[in-house]
């Protein structure tokens, strides 16, 4: 079974695909939006064109049979909601949505390996209704 973990925040997505013990990595940068004239000073800058960003993430995950979506902010849930609207088949492949701070690559691979291991925190079976453990 091909497995993938997607770490997503407002600036980038890091995709790790785990295949036969080997991990392949891809980083996708979110499009940036210049601050608008009516934006409140000091307000957080939001990523531009989230649909483009989310479509790029989905393309990177297209061959994964099991997916874990993680990250520090709400954008990971926005991605899952976007995919639910665009491709209902995607739901069955999402095993969990977790809030975690930015790990280094080694920690992210370890987290994925623990998550996808039988007896780990992953839910049993497939189907919509992924588990959010926030």
CATH number at residue 101: 3.30.420.60
Beta bridge partners of 60: none
**Domain-embedded: residue 39:** no
Q: Helices 75-86 & 50-60, crossing angle to 10 degrees?
A: 80
Q: What is the pTM of this model?
A: 0.76
**Domain-embedded: residue 69:** yes
Number of domains within the chain: 1
The pLDDT score that the predictor gives to residue 21 is 66
The torsion angles phi and psi of 86, rounded to 5 degrees, stand at -85, -35
pLDDT tens for the 134 residues of the chain, in order: 688 999 999 899 999 988 776 667 889 998 875 555 555 555 544 545 678 999 999 999 998 989 999 999 899 999 999 988 888 788 889 988 989 888 887 888 888 878 887 666 654 444 334 445 54
**Domain-embedded: residue 77:** yes
State the residue range of the domain holding 102: 3-30+47-132
**Domain-embedded: residue 37:** no
**Domain-embedded: residue 42:** no
Query: What residue ranges in 1-134 does DSSP mark as E strands?
Result: 3-8, 12-19, 22-29, 66-71, 94-99, 131-132
**Domain-embedded: residue 112:** yes
The pLDDT score that the predictor gives to residue 58 is 93
**Domain-embedded: residue 41:** no
**Domain-embedded: residue 93:** yes
Measured at the alpha carbon of residue 74, what is the angle toward residues 71 and 75, in degrees to the nearest 5? 75
The pLDDT score that the predictor gives to residue 70 is 93
């Amino acid at each position: 079974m091909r497995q993938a973990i997607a770490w997503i925040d407002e600036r980038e997505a890091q995709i790790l695909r785990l295949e036969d013990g080997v991990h392949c990595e891809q980083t996708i940068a979110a499009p940036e939006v210049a601050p608008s004239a009516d934006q409140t000073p000091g307000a957080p800058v939001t990523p531009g064109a989230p649909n483009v960003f989310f479509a790029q993430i989905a393309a990177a995950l297209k061959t994964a049979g099991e997916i874990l979506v993680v990250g520090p902010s709400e954008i990971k849930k926005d991605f899952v909601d976007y995919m639910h609207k665009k491709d209902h088949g995607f739901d069955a492949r999402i095993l969990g949505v977790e809030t975690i701070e930015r790990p280094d690559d080694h920690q992210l691979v370890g987290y994925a390996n623990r998550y996808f291991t039988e007896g780990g925190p992953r839910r049993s079976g497939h189907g919509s209704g992924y588990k959010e453990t926030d």
